[in-house]
């Protein structure tokens, strides 16, 4: 796609991933789904179990920025049937990341951009 982008942490602008590894968007959860991220993303060893809201009925690992510690997303370990297709992928919260658009050389909030439709 023409809109190639680098995903950066909103807190410190560390590079977390890019649109070449983007495999889906989940508008209900407000996430960009990637099959690969940089070493700047770390995840907790312990699972978070959802008892209300999202991730109700799901277990996931929190993703954080290695540089500043901001929570930037999650990896679903177990999920309800409607979210099962996200298991094992890196889900980055659009509210927690910036997109540097390479061709235009501008940075915009990820929540203000929609990439071409991608589905798993």
- 119 domain-assigned: no
Q: What is the pLDDT of residues 37-57, one digit of tens each?
A: 999 999 988 888 876 666 677
- 40 domain-assigned: yes
- 60 domain-assigned: yes
pLDDT band at 17 (very low <50, low <70, confident <90, very high): very high
For 5, 64, 65, 87, the CA distances from 117, given in Å and listed in that order, are: 15, 26, 26, 19
- 118 domain-assigned: no
Predicted TM-score (pTM) of the model is 0.89
Closest CA to 41 of 76, 84, 91: 91
Domain limits at 60? 5-111
Number of domains in the chain: 1
Check which CATH number belongs to the domain holding 13 and give it: 2.170.150.20
- 117 domain-assigned: no
Rounded Cα gap, residues 39 and 3, in angstroms: 23
Q: What is the pLDDT of residues 22-38, one digit of tens each?
A: 988 888 889 999 999 99
Closest CA to 92 of 13, 7, 11, 28: 7
**pLDDT at residue 46, as a whole number:** 84
- 71 domain-assigned: yes
| Start-to-end CA span in the chain (Å) | 17
**pLDDT at residue 52, as a whole number:** 67
- 81 domain-assigned: yes
- What integer is the mean pLDDT of 106-112? 93
114 or 91, higher pLDDT: 91
């Amino acid at each position: 796609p023409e809109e190639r982008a680098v995903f950066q942490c909103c807190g410190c602008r560390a590079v977390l991933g890019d649109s070449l590894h983007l495999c889906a968007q989940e508008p209900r959860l407000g996430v960009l789904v990637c099959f690969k991220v940089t070493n700047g993303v770390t995840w907790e060893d312990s699972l978070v179990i959802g008892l209300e809201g999202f991730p109700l009925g799901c277990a996931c690992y929190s993703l954080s920025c290695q540089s500043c510690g901001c929570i930037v997303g999650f990896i679903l370990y177990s999920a309800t049937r409607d979210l099962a297709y996200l298991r094992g992928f890196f889900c980055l919260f659009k509210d927690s990341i910036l997109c540097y658009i390479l061709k235009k050389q501008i940075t915009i909030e990820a929540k203000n951009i929609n990439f071409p439709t991608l589905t798993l």
